[in-house]
Amino acid sequence: MAGSDVHGFVNLVKPPGMTSHDAVIACRRVLGRLRAGHTGTLDPGASGVLVIACGQATRLVRYLQGSRKTYRAEMVLGVRTTTQDAQGEVLGEVDASAVRPESLARVLASRVGAGWQVPPMVSALKRDGVPLYRLARSGREVPRAPRPVVVHRLDLLDFRVVGPRVLALVDLECSAGTYVRTLCADVGEELGVGAHLGFLVRTASGPFRLEESVSFEELTRAKTPRRWLVSPRDALAEFPEVMVAGLARRRVLNGNPVALPGGPARTVRIIDPEGRLLAMGEVVGDGGDWRLEPRAVLTEVEQG
């Protein structure tokens, strides 16, 4: 497949054990593009939806990075680890078999809504240009400022007592930047038994769902892997559209603002009469002086 006309997003299933960076490289090889990136990292030990932007779609990544994420996760109550997941060294173990489902459900319910979270040391956040996980590997721990997060939904699906451990399966919908491993650890601390993340599957990232995703095997075997590309216009369907034609269309493609008859102020998809996405833009102004300002312009190429 020619790489020059490949533009769009791939809803990829990342297998456990692969980094997000390696997934991008592998996807780039299959699609024949030199330019590709993801819309949000997924821990190497986790699996599930990893959205890969190809070609000019990389210019639009920021419009998907803030999308809600949905996960299925296993909490292991009774064991604390250095990394807050099953990959770390055990810091402490206690008998958690006395924890009841009702107690866990109450703690989970208390976590729904806006709150704050201290990022783990094994995150990709940087301190003085160095990722925290690299500092953690060298045995260093540095202070981290709490970050705002929102948990939209946190449902307990299954609760099993296995010896001194409790295995709890949960479904979670949250804001971008929420660390599920830290949520598990915090829930365990509140229950007084400690906890870590047993496994994690991202089931959705914004409009991209696990049931509609493609595995590396399917992508590699496909005679036309381009069929798995989601067009930029479809991927950003949550944003309203403004259509431009003629001179206004040319102005948008040159990155110049266009006068509009009215507001309101908002982020929009800018399309032409043929339905092609030309750019993402902002409607700005007030009163009778409204204008459309292009922010991320795509050149005139076939878009997926």
Cross-strand partners of 88: none
Say how many C-beta atoms besides its own lie within 10 A of residue 119's C-beta. Answer: 18
Strand 8-14 to 47-54 pairing? antiparallel
Catalytic site includes residue 43: yes
Q: Backbone dihedral region of 195: left (phi > 0), alpha (psi from -120 to 50 degrees) or beta? A: beta
Using alpha carbons, select from 242, 240, 245, 238 the residue that is nearest to residue 290: 242
Task: Quote the CA–CA distance of 276 and 298 in Å, as a whole number.
Answer: 10
Say how many C-beta atoms besides its own lie within 10 A of residue 299's C-beta. Answer: 11
Using alpha carbons, select from 204, 207, 143 the residue that is nearest to residue 174: 204
Task: Quote the CA–CA distance of 66 and 293 in Å, as a whole number.
Answer: 21
Beta-carbon contacts of residue 247 (< 8 Å; ≥ 6 apart): none
Beta-carbon contacts of residue 45 (< 8 Å; ≥ 6 apart): 16, 17, 85, 86, 87, 199, 200
The DSSP result for 39-50, as a single string, is SS---TT-EEEE
List 22, 43, 128, 272, catalytic entry: 43
**Phi, psi (5° rounding) for residue 149?**
-135, 160
**Phi, psi (5° rounding) for residue 265?**
-65, 130
SS3 content of the chain, % helix, strand, coil (to 5): 25, 40, 35
Task: Quote the CA–CA distance of 240 and 270 in Å, as a whole number.
Answer: 9
Tell me which residues are annotated as active site. 43
